[in-house]
Amino acid sequence: MGFRLHSEYQPTGDQPQAIEKLIKGFKEGNRCQTLLGVTGGGKTFIAVEYFVSY
């Protein structure tokens, strides 16, 4: 059983692209990646979306 995310929010702005780039990098073997962003910009949400995608 994998992770499940229940949220009223959907990725917006640059978030969908960030999620896709992280997933692409992981699939290409990049195990260590850095997600940059401002405070309150949704980095945690992006990380959760990333983990849920597997």
- pLDDT tens-digit readout, 20-44: 888 899 889 998 988 888 888 888 8
Domain ranges of the chain: 15-29+36-52
Q: What is the pLDDT of residue 1?
A: 57
Q: Is the pLDDT of residue 10 over 80?
A: yes
Token duo for residue 42: 């949704």
Count of CB atoms within 10 A of residue 42's CB?
A: 19
Asked if residue 21 lies in contact with residue 13, where contact means CB atoms within 8 angstroms, the answer is no
CA dist 10 to 7, 31, 50, 51, Å?
Answer: 8, 25, 13, 15
Sort 18 into a burial class: Cβ within 10 Å, 0-12 / 13-18 / 19+. Answer: buried
Q: What is the pLDDT of residue 24?
A: 92
